[in-house]
Amino acid sequence: MKFGILFSGGKDSTYATYLANQAGYEISCLISIESENKESFMFHTPSILRVRKQAEVMGIPLIIKKTKGEKEEELKDLEKAINDAKKKYNIEGVVTGAVGSVYQASRIQKICDKLGLKCFNPLWKKDQIELLNELIENRFEIIIVGVFAYPLGKEWLGKKIDKEFIEKTKTLKKIYKINPAGEGGEFESFVINCPLFKKKLKIKSYKDFGEKNSWRREIDVG
């Protein structure tokens, strides 16, 4: 079957792409949404424009559509992007990186039902620590590009997800109830290398924006 991947460039959508590939699905395209709303209910926003470089090193066509990011209205733009993928690449289904967000998963499922497409969520309800360990075991190199919860601060930007990171987030979960994989929106990530990439992406420059416990890093990669 031909599938389109809802792709943000973060760990979950990239790992979902990898699992779909391992399962033998034909990945026809990546589908990304560029939201003007930094607080989007649906979409990853830090460094979203860098998905072009990720698509390039994976050798997978990319469909990218802009949205103002207004709640519910942004779903219409997502539907248009998925429908474009259906028409252009004849996809028969959509793969998502949804882990535990019923808000996201239910709305994507509704769009797929409307368009007559199957919806595959390979990470759904996966244990968060298990997910992080799998990423490391499968040689994913991931950095943090956004933090949005106390006590996470600017110093977390650029951190790699490794064994030390997992231990730190385990501790934060116990003390502050922070989701160790950022599923509650506590942090956003960006994949710079994985088995799907023909070469590792290098960070050429970056700029940090924010204050207190809300920071994002806009990176330039090559």
Taking only the tens place, the pLDDT of each residue in 9-53 is 999 999 999 999 999 999 999 999 988 776 665 665 556 779 999
pLDDT tier for residue 185 given thresholds of 50, 70 and 90: confident
Pick left, alpha or beta for residue 8 (phi over 0 → left; psi -120 to 50 → alpha; otherwise beta): alpha
Task: Taking residues 173-187, report their average pLDDT.
Answer: 91
pLDDT band at 161 (very low <50, low <70, confident <90, very high): very high
| pLDDT-above-70 percentage for the chain | 95
Q: Is the peptide bond before 61 cis (omega within 30 degrees of 0)?
A: no
Q: Would you say 208 and 216 are in contact if contact means Cβ atoms under 8 Å apart?
A: yes
Higher local confidence (pLDDT), 68 or 11: 11
Q: Provide the 3-class DSSP secondary structure of residue 28.
A: strand
Determine the pLDDT at residue 47: 65
Query: Average pLDDT in the 65-84 region?
Result: 88
Residue 72 has pLDDT above 70, yes or no: yes
Neighbours of 222 (CB within 10 A): 10
CA 121/CA 94 separation, integer angstroms: 9
- Confidence at residue 119, expressed as pLDDT on a 0 to 100 scale: 97
Question: 70 pLDDT band (50/70/90 cuts)?
Answer: confident
Domains and CATH numbers, the chain: 1-222 (3.40.50.620)
pLDDT tens digits, 114-141: 999 999 999 999 999 999 999 999 999 9
* Cα gap 140→102, rounded to integer Å: 26
> Which residues lie closer than 8 Å to 139 by C-beta, 6 or more apart?
193, 194, 195
Taking only Cα atoms into account, the Rg of the chain, rounded to an integer number of angstroms, comes to 16
CB proximity list for 108: less than 8 A, separation 6 or greater: 6, 78, 94, 96, 98, 119
Average pLDDT over all residues of the chain: 93
Strands of the chain (E only): list them.
2-6, 26-35, 62-67, 93-95, 118-120, 141-147, 187-193, 203-211, 214-221
pLDDT at 136: 98
